[in-house]
Structure 1
Amino acid sequence: MSDLNALESTHEVPLLLRSGRVFTGDELHPTATAVLVIAGRIEKVGTDEELLGLIDSDAQIIDVNGGLITPGFIDAHIHPIYGGMERNACDLTEADSHAGTLEAVQNYVAQRKAAETNNTDWIFGGGWYTGFFPSSGPTAKELDAVTANMPTYLISADHHSAWVNTAAMKLAGIRSQTPDPEDGVIERDALGQPTGVLHEGAMDLLNHVLPPHSAEEYAAGLIAARDYLHSVGVTGWQDAILGEYAGYPDVSETYRNARLTGTVAETVTGALWVPRELTIETVPSLVDEFVQRRQTNAHAGFTTHTAKIMVDGVPENKTAALLEDYCRCDSLGMGRSPAAGEHDRGLTYLERDVLMAVSVALDAAGFDLHFHAIGDRAVRWSLDAIEETRRRNPAAAQRHHIAHIQIVHPDDVQRFGTVGATANIQALWAAYDPQMLEHTIPQLGETRTSWQYPFSSIQQSGGNLCMGSDWPVSSADPWQAIHVAVNRTYPHVLDQTAAMNEPLELDEAIDLHTALKAYTSGSAWQLRLDRDYGRITPGAVANLAVANRNPFDDITSDQPTSICTTKNVLTIECGEIVYKAHRGQTS
């Protein structure tokens, strides 16, 4: 018998996981404690005694010590290559404060100086958290102090802003006279001078000076991402942007090469990015291009039958599209007064008629639509677009989903079930963390704060649920997101102070069964992987994740706040062990 610290991957001989509990993708199995894998597929699910009687002495037996066996998690909205490349560059994701972020940059620069003779190259990276900085964001001046005059481009954790230093702005020609692009904002001081933060489309102002990354860098980023995702039990995903964005090119070729070489599994899919400059006149040519790209990718075994439409931005920089004006609030963050000047309701990146036209055309061409919609106006427009595709193409059976759904007007909640829209939820955000308290609520006011992340109501409306992390925007660990989905409080293993805050709209919590189903079979269905993946059932491909404990025990003991202590200790992909926890990580 093997333990979790002495495992060797073996595809040729039967593999038995025993002495655990089994979540099938639909439910916690009432009696099963073991799963038998033969030739990369699930042979049988049952008790230890039943399955031990089916194997011979050559089989590999792994005792999971009371842990939970689940289908491999499937992340329905993620940016792996971005995350992997940033992990390989100036990675700011582990910084825990404003000062800590600057220290991380300074340490990276010191490492670069020690390793290279030429220090004139760009500093690239990302992962800085907006909650550590004032609402206006960090500044070029403080970045200048730690970057030794090397031009620097650091993408925020949410990938909606970039932090640049003075050298970078000088190279790009960004100054007080530079106008804001239609789809973005240059953060400025009281005198109109750029401060060093570029929001949304303003990030593209540096595209002409940013040095290109090599194919080798992209490939290395994908491998780094794959290995990290395996470590948290993720065995499949949808890359939510295949196209030029935030200084990155279309990385479809990286994925095609990875599929041809077997670097990533067939459970890796992608969404083709609809550019923001789209017009009614260019919709037909875009659809033709997407059809050709879908075919090219399919020849390499890479599935891209989804189109990604970013409808709006995020509320922290006032680019999320709202039905009513953003507000100025009192020091407690809950008093509302109208925003000064013209209507201040955020941005929509496509005109409404363009959004409707491209949605209908892509639906007719067989594409599932993946909407980014955070503000209540963006969510409404996305639902309108799905409703229009159902009306115009009644014979189509596309699986459309709306990601993020942060602010949903109560009038629109029931429409998820009515129009057949899946809510692609990033549950880790549905809590009072520092960004929510300091940057989001003051922009929304009390009423709209109460409309945030209505997971339970959408489920009750008949809408489907799937889950994704949006990594590297936030942690890709499914157990942290599941913890918030169930508790609506922040995981104490990530931030003890934030975890002490009251729940965010506790009535919108979903139970552990529902959350786990959304992250396994729900995401498999949404990404059209449900024929072979997302469930533990005989005949399914053996993509499995094993947790160090059974979090359903937390529910029965009324301690669901312990869900976040659950850790992935073993990941199996197509019957092969692709991750095992090191000694000391299994407890």
Structure 2
Amino acid sequence: MATLFRGGTLFDGEQYAGVAQVLVADGRIAAVSTGDAAEQPLDAPAGTRVVDLEGGLLAPGFVDAHVHVVQGGLERVRCDLSGLDGREAYLAAVREYAAAHPDLPWIQGGGWAMAAFPGGTPTAADLDAVVPDRPVALPNRDHHGLWVNSRALALAGIDRHTPDPPDGRIERDAAGEPTGTLHEGAMQLVSRLLPATTDAEADAALAAGQSYLHSVGVVGWQDAIVGEYVGMDDPGPAYLRAARAGTLAGHVVGALWWDRDRGLEQLPGLRERRAEYTHGRFRATSVKVMQDGVAENGTAALTEPYLDRCGHPTANAGHSFLDPVRLGEAVRALAADGFQVHVHGIGDRGVREALDAFAGLDAAGRALRHHIAHLQLIHPDDVARFAVLGVAANIQALWACLDEQMVDLTLPFLGPERATWQYPFGDLHRAGARLVAGSDWPVSTPDPLAAVHTAVTRTAYGEAGPAGTEPFLPAQALDLETAFAAYTSGSAWINGRDDAGRVRPGAVADLVVLDRDPFAGPAEQIGATRVRSTWIDGALVHEA
């Protein structure tokens, strides 16, 4: 059946087109009329379904270039703390969940915010008070820290004599006793004990995650970790089952996990998994390298050390999880095998090391659409290198605001100069970098409109205090067209879909209908926009 969208405006993936009509047939865009021509009916076949936009905006469906859908789905069906605020609410939810699931051997879930606890580090004692009889393991929102109770510490054999692993840290009290928070590689000490996720659980999580993404207008994505990582089971088999069953509605790229404890000997296994997992709408054609940690726990790799609370330099400059020489070797080998490389880079040193690795590629290697995600700190000398090297900047725009995590756990430890290097989206755009966008859900909401709001205003929509009222480094804001393009045509490009992300004849009809036109209202109301319907290949997959 053909579908005609009319009665509203259009963003075509690159620019705002104003009043428009769009005809879809056989899963693709058949015709587009804009301007004065949109006042005349398009020639549509008999029986065409008509969708009245009611003054809203039609746009290409959003593509999330960095997300963890199965993990997000699992958290939604386990002890989900992501929608709660504060220590007391978290503990009440854990108590209630444990009481409702008395037969579970472990209490799992996650989604707590570091800013809810002094120093960003919750304690085992708090969890002991609500779940004394079973082990509890709850990753925080960014999945770079794990909150555990005393039962979990005991099962893992973690005590004052347990050394910190090279790539992580056990939070301790003044006497050296573990207090209940494990950072980065230290999470593995407990996560290796967690029960395996069953196929049924993984399949249900993928279905729940996909449905949630459709509800916020997302039609495709890149899953940023396809492999086993600190308690997360490999989601690849779940994607393969869904692709074979025809239940994976959108096109998905999987980024296979690069094990930082191994070297080039893992390449044959990655080739095998690429061939095994790639089927239908799922392509395991990218490889994820985590080069550093996060700034809030002092593991993001910096060119100069972190400061202490008095503003004095410390001995800590964060972690480079791969030696830069090994990183360069890995990138060259992966590119020679035809893999796209997707790097996690938070600190300015981590980002620089990734760029240095990409600089070692020849023209054919650079053509594989590599990208660096997160980009919290970029040294000013490195901003222009993205365009020069053809490396896409994968932005998580929602984080570029003065929330508690930024104010309490980041700014004091960076100092005034480095603080101004954060999330330099405007500078990247002006320097000619290709921008793509993602959410990192379940780290933060997958709602692209919330992220677009922050990209444009440098504030968080609906938040009280500085996060919602004081623009953070407003010179780094993007205009609305650029932000929308990053989340549509930009992210479709990073996934290798040149026939998607745009509304033009011949393109696939992956579309989103919004309840208003954010281009016609004040920027402060972008975040109020809601998804009315989502379409993939011209078929309705979500309707509010």
Q: Same fold (TM over 0.5)?
A: yes
Q: Which moved more, 1:345-354 or 1:292-301?
A: 292-301
Taking a change above 3 Å as real, the CA distance of residues 53 and 525 of structure 1, as seen in their structure-2 partners, is closer
- Identity rate of aligned residues, in percent? 46
1:173 CA drift (Å) = 0.9
8 Å contact from structure 1 (residues 34, 51) kept in 2: no
Q: 1:305 aligns with which of 274, 285, 288?
A: 285
Aligned 1:351-500 pairs, distance under 5 A:
351-390=323-362, 397-492=367-462, 495-500=463-468
8 Å contact from structure 1 (residues 364, 396) kept in 2: no
Taking a change above 3 Å as real, the CA distance of residues 410 and 108 of structure 1, as seen in their structure-2 partners, is same
Distance 2:215 2:470 in 1: 31
8 Å contact from structure 2 (residues 455, 478) kept in 1: yes
Alignment correspondent of 1:4: none
1:418 CA drift (Å) = 1.4
Q: 2:494 aligns with which of 521, 526, 546?
A: 526
Aligned 1:22-421 pairs, distance under 5 A:
22-30=10-18, 32-46=19-33, 52-56=41-45, 58-113=47-102, 118=103, 121-265=105-249, 267-278=251-262, 282-283=263-264, 285-299=265-279, 301-330=281-310, 336-339=311-314, 343-390=315-362, 397-421=367-391
Q: Unaligned regions of 5+ residues in structure 2, if any?
A: none
Distance 2:178 2:365 in 1: 51
1:199 is paired with a residue of what secondary structure? Answer: strand
Taking a change above 3 Å as real, the CA distance of residues 299 and 474 of structure 1, as seen in their structure-2 partners, is closer
8 Å contact from structure 2 (residues 449, 527) kept in 1: yes
Alignment correspondent of 1:14: 2
2:14 is paired with a residue of what secondary structure? Answer: coil
Please, what is the CA RMSD of the aligned residues?
A: 1.5
1:128 is paired with a residue of what secondary structure? Answer: coil
TM-score normalised to structure 2 length: 0.97
Q: Which moved more, 1:75-84 or 1:93-102?
A: 93-102
1:150 CA drift (Å) = 1.6
Alignment correspondent of 1:584: none
1:19 is paired with a residue of what secondary structure? Answer: strand
Distance 2:241 2:470 in 1: 47
Distance 1:570 1:535 in 2: 17
Distance 1:389 1:159 in 2: 31
Distance 2:280 2:33 in 1: 37
1:482 is paired with a residue of what secondary structure? Answer: helix
1:327 is paired with a residue of what secondary structure? Answer: coil
Distance 2:467 2:403 in 1: 8
Distance 1:135 1:77 in 2: 28
Alignment correspondent of 1:8: none
Structure 1 stretches (4+) deviating beyond 3 angstroms? 47-53, 393-396, 498-501
8 Å contact from structure 1 (residues 256, 301) kept in 2: no
1:414-457 alpha-carbon deviations (Å, 9 max, x no partner)? 11111111100000001101110010111211111110011111
Residue 512 of structure 2 corresponds to residue 545 of structure 1:
yes
Taking a change above 3 Å as real, the CA distance of residues 300 and 71 of structure 1, as seen in their structure-2 partners, is closer
Distance 1:304 1:537 in 2: 28
Taking a change above 3 Å as real, the CA distance of residues 401 and 159 of structure 1, as seen in their structure-2 partners, is same
1:325-350 alpha-carbon deviations (Å, 9 max, x no partner)? 100134xxxxx2122xxx31001111
Distance 1:56 1:300 in 2: 30
Distance 2:439 2:471 in 1: 20
Distance 1:58 1:51 in 2: 19
How many residue pairs match? The answer is: 542
Q: Unaligned regions of 5+ residues in structure 1, if any?
A: 1-12, 331-335, 582-587
8 Å contact from structure 2 (residues 358, 366) kept in 1: no
Distance 1:346 1:444 in 2: 12
1:90-117 alpha-carbon deviations (Å, 9 max, x no partner)? 000111222111111122123224xxxx
Supply the AA of the counterpart residue of 1:550. D
Taking a change above 3 Å as real, the CA distance of residues 395 and 245 of structure 1, as seen in their structure-2 partners, is closer
Distance 2:468 2:238 in 1: 42
TM-score normalised to structure 1 length: 0.90
1:222 is paired with a residue of what secondary structure? Answer: helix
